[in-house]
Homo-oligomer: A and B are copies of this chain.
Amino acid sequence: MIPRYSRPEMTAIWSPETRFRIWFEIEAHATTALAELGVVPKEAAAKVWEKGREAVFDVARIDEIERVTKHDVIAFLTHLSEIVGPEARFVHQGMTSSDVLDTCLSVQLTRAADILIADVDTLLDHLKRRAFEHRMTPTIGRSHGIHAEPVTFGLKLAGYHAEFQRARARLVAARAEIATCAISGAVGTFANIDPRVEAYVAEKMGLAVEPVSTQVIPRDRHAMFFATLGVVASSIERLAIEIRHLQRSEVYEAEEFFSEGQKGSSAMPHKRNPVLTENLTGLARMVRAYALPAMENVALWHERDISHSSVERMIGPDSTITLDFALSRVAGVVDKLVVYPENMQKNLDRLGGLVHSQRVLLALTQKGVSREDAYRLVQRNAMPVWRGEGDFLTLLKADAEVKAALSDLELEELFDLGYHLKQVDTIFGRVFGTD
Q: Say if the beta carbon of A57 comes within 8 Å of chain B.
A: no
Q: Say if the beta carbon of A201 comes within 8 Å of chain B.
A: no
A238 touches B299 (CB 8 A): yes
- Give the 5 A-B residue pairs with the shortest CB-CB distance, closest first: A141-B187, A270-B382, A145-B248, A282-B310, A144-B273
Query: In the complex, what residues of B have CB within 8 A of residue A262's CB?
Result: 69-71
A141 touches B74 (CB 8 A): no
B265 touches A313 (CB 8 A): no
Q: How far is the CA of A238 from the CA of B221 in the complex (A)?
A: 13
Given A185-B267, A231-B224, A303-B148, the answer on whether A314 and B286 have CB atoms closer than 8 Å is: yes
Q: Say if the beta carbon of A335 comes within 8 Å of chain B.
A: no
Task: Kindly supply a per-residue 1/0 record for chain A positions 295-339, scoring 1 wherever the CB is within 8 Å of any chain B CB and 0 otherwise.
Answer: 111111111111111110111011000100000000000000000
What's the number of copies of this chain in the assembled complex? Answer: 4
B303 touches A295 (CB 8 A): no
Query: In the complex, what residues of B have CB within 8 A of residue A151's CB?
Result: 187-189, 214, 303
Q: Say if the beta carbon of A125 comes within 8 Å of chain B.
A: no
Nearest B residue to A372 by beta-carbon distance? B78
Q: Say if the beta carbon of A351 comes within 8 Å of chain B.
A: yes
Given A69-B263, A149-B191, A298-B235, the answer on whether A211 and B288 have CB atoms closer than 8 Å is: no
B278 touches A289 (CB 8 A): no
Given A97-B267, A155-B212, the answer on whether A191 and B227 have CB atoms closer than 8 Å is: no
Q: How far is the CA of A90 from the CA of B369 in the complex (A)?
A: 11
Query: In the complex, what residues of B have CB within 8 A of residue A267's CB?
Result: 95-97, 185-186, 192, 358, 361
Q: Which of A212-253 contact B (CB under 8 A)?
A: 212, 214-215, 218, 220-221, 223-224, 227-228, 230-231, 234-235, 237-238, 240-242, 244-245, 247-251
Task: Kindly supply a per-residue 1/0 record for chain A positions 342-361, scoring 1 wherever the CB is within 8 Å of any chain B CB and 0 otherwise.
Answer: 00000100110010011101
Nearest B residue to A173 by beta-carbon distance? B173
B244 touches A234 (CB 8 A): no
Query: In the complex, what residues of B have CB within 8 A of residue A251's CB?
Result: 250
Give the distance to chain B from A233, nearest Cβ to Cβ, in Å.
8
**Which of the residues B89, B234, B269, B272 comes within 8 Å of A223, measured between beta carbons?**
B234
Sort chain A's interface into a size bin: 35 or more
B365 touches A93 (CB 8 A): yes
Q: Which of A281-299 contact B (CB under 8 A)?
A: 281-286, 288-293, 295-299
Which one of A104-112, A405-413, A415-423 is at the B interface? A415-423
Nearest B residue to A359 by beta-carbon distance? B192
B249 touches A350 (CB 8 A): yes
Q: How far is the CA of A2 from the CA of B309 in the complex (A)?
A: 13
B300 touches A292 (CB 8 A): no
**Which of the residues B195, B218, B282, B292 comes within 8 Å of A289, measured between beta carbons?**
B292
Which one of A47-55, A114-122, A162-170 is at the B interface? A162-170
A–B complex contacts, Cβ < 8 Å, 7 sampled = A141-B215, A142-B303, A145-B244, A149-B185, A166-B220, A188-B427, A223-B230
Query: In the complex, what residues of B have CB within 8 A of residue A132's CB?
Result: none
Q: Say if the beta carbon of A430 comes within 8 Å of chain B.
A: yes
A166 touches B73 (CB 8 A): no
Nearest B residue to A92 by beta-carbon distance? B266
